[in-house]
Structure 1
Amino acid sequence: MGVLKEMRQSDVGITGVGVVSACAQSAEEMVETLLFEKVPLPPPVSELSLPLDIDILLRKIAPDHWPISSSSPFETPTGSLCLAAARQACQGREPGRMPQALVLGTSTGGQSKSEEALHQLLQGHVPSFRMDVQGTMCSPTRLVAEQLGIRGACSTVSTACTSSANAIALAASWIRRGRYERVLAGGGDALCGTTIASFFNLQLTKRELCRPFGQNRPGMTLGEGAAFLVLESMDAIRRDGRSCLAVLSGVGLSSDAYHMTGPDPEGKGALSSMKMALEDAGLTPEDIDYVSAHGTGTQLNDATEAKAIAALMGDVPVSSIKAATGHTLAASGPIEAVLCVLALVHGHAPANIGTQKAGDDCPIQLVPPGGIGLSASSALLSNSFAFGGNNCSLVLRHHEEERG
């Protein structure tokens, strides 16, 4: 493990990160709460603030931590989260070095505004806002582009829980093909009634905090958040003499199309995306030192993912942070990618949160409390899987030139 590989032409640099979640409002807070466990996690909440008779636990962002709204007509709850994280990722950049393009993933978009419009209509009122502006899937993308002055291509990706991981993959492909030097990639989701009711009706949520990969795990805990990464070509980074936090070396995408909501129990799609990511990065399974798992806490997802990881990488250390963040849907991919960047920067991978011992159906090695150290040559793999069998795996590693 930890074998140094020559810097490849296809590597894409990561020069900025930003994150907003129930347990961390910035990358610095994520280091304290998740990497080194110095700050206790906030308790989950059961108050929905929605007209739903549902009894579950959620990882909601506290009202006093909610981003300040802009005056933009494109403002939505999801957009507010995305804008806050995007601003963090771009903080301190000169105007000439801002991202030229944007790829944003979301599964809810302006859904909360659609629900608000429906409630107003049912009460006999005309909606107090334009649905074609705030109620669309692309409204968060329009908000971020407007507020940050991004004038290049702006794309919205919506593939359920892989939305923003796929957004990162698309942004990387733009840079690899020479279309842009700098692209802002990521996404987010705010909780809304449709999301909560849908997962409850699928019997995937309970009034009990999730325990990813644990024995008798109760199901997932929903959350909300957003995260973004500034991806940049290595040529531009060298030319401008900028620092690089880490590099995105490999991308793997697959679709097993087994079931509308359930993964292939053999884990074929997950295995395929991980293999492709390693091949794209020019690495072998033995080169991976840590896997940031999708690990939602459901019976089928965890068993399937664990089986695929074990088949490909044996006893590689694995952890999921969803007991801390909740399953943030489209935001989960970039939140966990940011965590991998921070793990590389600080040489430390986070513990599996929620349980210390893997269930009998999860043949993997969970990272223990306190986390584990990483070497200067470490390579990490981050998984995101979604309904419909949509899978995305990303390989991240150190920027070797920066280590000298």
Structure 2
Amino acid sequence: MQLRGTSRINERGHLEIGGCDTVELAEQFGTPLYVMDEQMIRSRMRAYVEAFRKTGLRFRVGYASKAFNTLAMCRLVAEEGLYLDVVSDGELYTALKAGFPPERIYFHGNNKTPEELDMGLEVGIGWFVVDNFTELSMLDARACKKGTIARILLRTTPGVEAHTHNYIQTGQEDSKFGFDLASGQVHKAVRLSLEAEGLEPDGFHCHIGSQIFEADGFRLAVRKLAKLAEDCRAAYGFRTRVLNIGGGFGIRYSGEDRPLPTEAYISAMAEEIRTGFAGVQPPEVWVEPGRSIVGEAGTTLYRIGTIKEVPGIRKYVAVDGGMNDNPRPALYQASYEAYLANRAKEPPSETVSVAGKLCETGDMLIWDLDLPRVESGDLLAVSCTGAYNYSMANNYNRLRRPAVVFVRDGRADLVVQRESLEDLIRNDRIPERMFSPEPME
């Protein structure tokens, strides 16, 4: 068992996070329950800022809110002075309702709608990360119509294939994201944006993938973008003011994962920046971590229900959630570590597989997990569920999405209320024609 952040085993043998006993949290807020270690989140944010300060470069750290986006999370990001990356009108709306400064927001996405572009322009967000020629033209036209100028970064696919799951590689040439570097698309985008009356290009963006455990991919990406910046300066007189290297920094989900320290990623990028921009003013360097800020800070608490043993094959223990609150094992074959929160000091004595309660054979959270002898009613804590769990949660089988609490210094604050049964049907409608006075034959 590896405890993270403020987690510890207290004198009662219970898992404690942020000074809060998880057994008491489960009793107070119910299960499944997302528990977020607020102090750990803040520490991770500050680690990126400190790592950049040591490089001496001009920098900005943005939080990729798609990893975990709530009103309270947006407030936390604002308090820490970070910028915010949004990818939809819903994420933007959440940030604005939380009082996040719009000038510190930038808008991602490969298919921003006209309404989303208008919303960003009207509230005065800082930047649009333009993904393709359709968006480039549409944003220019809408900015001109509103009598404003949109500051932009051009998203580039640099042809770097990160060593990660195929579904979360985004920097290779064959990608739905960004202007291709190898074919010259990005050069055309630079020319068009410089000619556009409603656009002000500030630089380039790339994102090579997620859950990356080495720095070589980032080094190569910076090298390619530095060469692009040099070529654009020579050809068009365009000075790159911003170089956004994206995110994708890996975390430790299980013992097989070996992420680098934050400083190792940042120092590798900084070294390539200094080399690639030798003799000229380096651009401001941006990164946008998401998973590496909130992933390990999240723990999901489940109540164990039924237990089924298949003699000589496997022992299944079922929890009161599953792929509705954590679809990552089904999507990416993601692996997790877990332990009994109410009996955390007891040594393992059996191997079980953790099943969800949804009507899918593939609803398995963890295969072959070593635990003390499991009993119905035990509390299972699954670690590292802070990223892409709440944000991907759904109502499959009409299950209610869990509550979220922030814990810090012995205090637990409810930041997302558990959905009610009424919430599940809130937007449903029955056509008047179905209210027939007599049963249909």
Q: Same fold (TM over 0.5)?
A: no
- TM-score by structure 1 length? 0.29
Larger radius of gyration: 2
Ranked by relative contact order (alpha carbons within 8 Å, sequence separation 6 or more), the top structure is 1
